[in-house]
Amino acid sequence: MSSGNLKVAVIGGDGTGPEVAAEGLKVLKAVAKLEGIQLETKDFDLGGERYLKTGEILPPDVFNELKTYPAILLGAVGHPGVAPGILEKGLLLELRFKLDQYINLRPVKLFPGVETPLAGKGPKDIDFVVVRENTEDMYVGMGGFLKKGTPDEVAMQTAVYTRKGCERCIRWAFNYTRKRNQKKRLTLVAKTNVLTYGHDLWWRTFQEVAKEYPDIQTDYNHVDACCMWMVKNPEHYDVIVTTNMFGDIITDLAGILQGGMGVAAGGNINPDAGGVSMFEPMGGSAPKYTGTGMINPIAAINAAGMLLEQSGYDKAAARVNKAIQTVTGTKMKSQAAGKMGYTTSQVGDLVCEAL
């Protein structure tokens, strides 16, 4: 697709979220103009400030309006004045669950000029993708306390896995591996030696779905071993598919390998017809940098690129990806906040110029 309509809801959110989202949007607008895409955007005022003022996190009328946008660009969630967990659960996880965004896609690519903590590894070694299930596992909030606050207290938090939930994620990952067309290797990351019920379901489903994809090489790592291999031989990986909780953990490890939170982006994707997907930089709200112009917007611009790709604008997405690499490779001094050699908004301008 090289022209068409694209409706994007923008949730700047907390801290530096609005600043980085603005740069993502700047690049989105610039590439839309170049590619003849009719872009329509709307800002949604959600996050810690609104919660503190009104007590609202995700009012039903706002949610209903958001649902009419096929794509959401999210800045960050997390406010120092709000207890941890309230906004994360009430806004971020609520959107993921209610919009049934069952894929959490985390590309792990070391861009040119970006430093990795791995000695002797470069951009050709660190280029893989994690497909994290995004609606089940310990994230469902099932559990409870017994005898709370007493010495006999019991706390339970249940990991929920369904056949439907793991199958749709695994099948999407196989298709993605095929479309990506690189090593054509899909690695299941789980813990089948200990989680002999839940991850047995994942294992059996993986084996069954694999039969439909004879062109894809299947591979398996226990999650602990995966952490080791990711550091020692990241070049082994092409696409990883994993559960929600393990995916959360290994994508922070992967994020630092690709240059850290200023670079890493993710997509919460509902691939079904009419599904609403949401794209976000991984950096968090970084409150101490709010308004300083020091925060790195590359992750948010990267998220905007993912938004384009998942919306079917492959050419525009490739353009953004290439422009990011020009800027990291030939302009920016560092990916760390305050050390980029440019302000937040100058980095956005540089990407626009490189489109």
Q: Closest CB to Mn ion belongs to which residue?
A: 248
User: Packing angle between helix 344-354 and helix 314-330, nearest 10 degrees?
Assistant: 120
Beta-strand ranges (E) seen in the chain are: 4-13, 37-43, 71-76, 103-109, 127-133, 143-146, 154-157, 185-190, 217-222, 239-242, 265-269, 277-281
- Per CB under 5 A, contacts with Mn ion among 210-239 are none
CB of 249 to ligand IPM, least distance (A): 9
- Per CB under 6 A, contacts with ligand IPM among 176-215 are none
Which CB, 93 or 316, lies closer to Mn ion?
A: 93
Binding mask 40-79 for ligand IPM (x = CB under 6 A): ----------------------------------------
The entry of Mn ion, ligand IPM, none near residue 99 (CB within 5 to 8 angstroms by kind) is none
Contact 170, 213 (CB under 8 A): no
Return d(Cα 63, Cα 158) in angstroms, integer. Answer: 28
Q: Exposed, middle or buried, 329 (CB in 10 Å: 0-12/13-18/19+)?
A: middle
CB of 355 to ligand IPM, least distance (A): 28
Distances in whole angstroms, Cα of residue 135 to Cα of each of 24, 84, 98, 161, 269: 26, 20, 9, 9, 11
Binding mask 82-101 for ligand IPM (x = CB under 6 A): ------x---xx--------
Q: Which of 330, 267, 258, 265 is nearest to 297 (CA)?
A: 265
CB of 314 to ligand IPM, least distance (A): 25
- Per CB under 5 A, contacts with Mn ion among 22-41 are none
The entry of ligand IPM, Mn ion, none near residue 298 (CB within 5 to 8 angstroms by kind) is none
CB of 250 to Mn ion, least distance (A): 10
The entry of ligand IPM, Mn ion, none near residue 88 (CB within 5 to 8 angstroms by kind) is ligand IPM
Q: Which of 66, 62, 70, 74 is nearest to 12 (CA)?
A: 74
Q: What is the largest CA-CA distance in the chain?
A: 65
The set of residues, in sequence order, having a beta carbon less than 8 Å from that of 4 and lying 6+ positions away, is 37, 38, 312, 313
**94 lies in the binding site for Mn ion (CB under 5 A):** no
Chain centroid, CA 324 distance in Å = 17
- Per CB under 5 A, contacts with Mn ion among 240-279 are 248
Which CB, 248 or 349, lies closer to Mn ion?
A: 248
Which CB, 11 or 201, lies closer to Mn ion?
A: 11
Return d(Cα 322, Cα 62) in angstroms, integer. Answer: 35
Q: Closest CB to ligand IPM belongs to which residue?
A: 88
Contact 200, 192 (CB under 8 A): yes
CB of 96 to Mn ion, least distance (A): 12
Return d(Cα 290, Cα 17) in angstroms, integer. Answer: 8
The entry of ligand IPM, Mn ion, none near residue 351 (CB within 5 to 8 angstroms by kind) is none
- Residue of 49, 235, 248, 349 that binds ligand IPM (CB under 6 A): 248
The entry of Mn ion, ligand IPM, none near residue 92 (CB within 5 to 8 angstroms by kind) is ligand IPM
Contact 220, 202 (CB under 8 A): no
Residues forming the site for ligand IPM (CB under 6 A):
88, 92-93, 248
Residues forming the site for Mn ion (CB under 5 A):
248
